[in-house]
A and B are shown apart, each in its own frame.
Chain A
Amino acid sequence: MLAMDGIDMIVIGAPNLFHCEIAVAAAKAGKHVVVEKPLCMNLAEADRMIEACKTAGVKLMYAEELCFTPKYVRLKALLDEGALGDPVLLKQSEKHDGPHADHFWDVERSGGGVTMDMGCHAIEFFRWMLGRPKIKSVYAQMGTHVHKDKTKGDDNAIIILEFENGVTAVAEESWTKLGGMDDRAEVHGTKGQAYADVLQGNSILTYSTQGVGYAVEKAGNTVGWSFTMYEEIWNYGFPQEFAHFVDCVKNNRQPSVTGEDGRAVLEAIYAAYESAGTGKKVYLPFKTDVDKPYKLWEK
């Protein structure tokens, strides 16, 4: 596939452990690269991916769709126009009842549990919302409460980030929340606050004695009350994300979310596992040669 002239860009939707190998090969073949979250397994891989794309002169987009989620884009605009004053506290969380494929549960292939899988969304959300200041410290509390039979990874996590501009950000992540996906954010500022829920307020409040064929991602049982989502991928910003990168390729522009952003997120994820493992706040930059984040928590 990489030898095909007709291909300008590759989109990597393979399990985490293959991201680096595929991205580097694609870059060497001169193809622009979109890579799903998390960027890859470790910081050495992140450096290789960024370097390979730089050397080959191809673009690398870290596919964090929350930077394109229409409700969050509007939320950021509120903060940017000053409607909320200066940011004080941000919150973001993603919760569902656990991943759909075995590679997510296997820490050797995923690198970690819910912090790796969904905490990555929150961390990039915070960075993007604040204009990407440096993260000063990370504190995390993790546990495996429901899925011990399935994974050595964390299935619930609270992650607290401190940014160099003084803003605190709190991420709550769960693989044990039943009854459909939850994705929401709060921005608390000196002059106001705003609450944005990606799935509530714009889904259809549904009651059915029959159950709903497809209501929402990871809906579970839909007999009785449920919420039915419409235009689900648009509400997450996926088409907008791809329109952006295709435009970058076509018109030689820089993607708004890059490999460097994905690397910064991964560094914070490593710091979170280190914090959960030691019970201490971890200051960045955090350097480690460990090849998978969960290992810092396990020790």
Chain B
Amino acid sequence: MNKKVGVGLVGSQFVSTIHAESLKMVPDAEIVAVASPTEAHAGNLPGITAFPIFLRMYTTCWQWTAST
């Protein structure tokens, strides 16, 4: 694989903050999406302000719709 490894985070609070902070230190990885019931939390993750696709999560786990 030549490109960066694309990462999707599920969750956006305590441990996901650690995941985002850690992945910032891995040059071969790039977080491209965050799935979370709360968009504002996803936007607060370290290094995730400028870009990606936030997916809003509704009642059951796997009914996502893209918001921004």
Give the chain A neighbours of B9 by CB distance below 8 A: 10-11, 13
**Contact A242-B61, Cβ < 8 Å, known A8-B5, A8-B7, A14-B10:** no
Interface size band for B: 20 to 34
Q: Which of B20-68 contact A (CB under 8 A)?
A: 21-23, 25-26, 28-29, 32-33, 35, 53, 55, 61-62, 64
Q: Which of A1-59 contact B (CB under 8 A)?
A: 1-2, 4, 6-14, 18, 21-22, 25, 31, 36
A78 contacts the other chain (CB 8 A): no
Residue of A nearest to B36 (CB): A14
**Contact A250-B1, Cβ < 8 Å, known A4-B33, A8-B6, A25-B61:** yes
- Inter-subunit contact A239/B6 (CB<8 Å): no
Residue of B nearest to A10 (CB): B8
Give the chain A neighbours of B8 by CB distance below 8 A: 1-2, 4, 7, 9-11, 31
- Inter-subunit contact A242/B26 (CB<8 Å): yes
Give the residue of A10, A21, A31, A36 whose beta carbon is less than 8 angstroms from that of B15.
A36
Tell me the complex Cα distance, A18–B60, Å: 10
Give the residue of B12, B13, B21 whose beta carbon is less than 8 angstroms from that of A233.
B21
Give the residue of B10, B19, B55 whose beta carbon is less than 8 angstroms from that of A22.
B10
Tell me the complex Cα distance, A256–B29, Å: 19
Return B46 CB to nearest CB of chain A, in Å: 10
- Inter-subunit contact B22/A241 (CB<8 Å): yes
Give the chain B neighbours of A13 by CB distance below 8 A: 9-16, 19
Tell me the complex Cα distance, A8–B16, Å: 17
- Inter-subunit contact B53/A4 (CB<8 Å): yes
- Inter-subunit contact A242/B55 (CB<8 Å): no
Return B63 CB to nearest CB of chain A, in Å: 11
Return A105 CB to nearest CB of chain B, in Å: 14
Tell me the complex Cα distance, A36–B33, Å: 18
Give the residue of A21, A238, A246 whose beta carbon is less than 8 angstroms from that of B5.
A246
- Inter-subunit contact A249/B61 (CB<8 Å): no
Residue of B nearest to A13 (CB): B11
**Contact A243-B13, Cβ < 8 Å, known A7-B7, A238-B18, A250-B1:** no
Return B44 CB to nearest CB of chain A, in Å: 14
A298 contacts the other chain (CB 8 A): no
- Inter-subunit contact A238/B22 (CB<8 Å): yes
- Inter-subunit contact A246/B29 (CB<8 Å): yes
Return B54 CB to nearest CB of chain A, in Å: 10
Return A81 CB to nearest CB of chain B, in Å: 28
Residue of A nearest to B23 (CB): A242
Residue of B nearest to A104 (CB): B14
Tell me the complex Cα distance, A212–B19, Å: 24
A247 contacts the other chain (CB 8 A): yes
Tell me the complex Cα distance, A214–B9, Å: 25
- Inter-subunit contact A239/B10 (CB<8 Å): no
Task: List, sorted by A's number, 23 A–B pairs whose CB atoms are closer than 8 Å.
Answer: A1-B33, A1-B64, A2-B62, A7-B7, A7-B32, A9-B8, A11-B23, A12-B10, A12-B11, A13-B9, A13-B11, A13-B19, A14-B61, A22-B10, A25-B62, A31-B8, A36-B15, A233-B21, A239-B21, A239-B22, A241-B22, A246-B28, A249-B1
Chain A residues packing against B (C-beta within 8 Å): 1-2, 4, 6-14, 18, 21-22, 25, 31, 36, 100-101, 233, 238-239, 241-243, 246-247, 249-251
If A8-B5, A239-B22 are given as contacts, then 9 extra A-B residue pairs at C-beta distance below 8 Å, sorted by A number, are: A1-B10, A2-B62, A14-B11, A21-B61, A101-B13, A101-B14, A242-B23, A249-B1, A250-B28
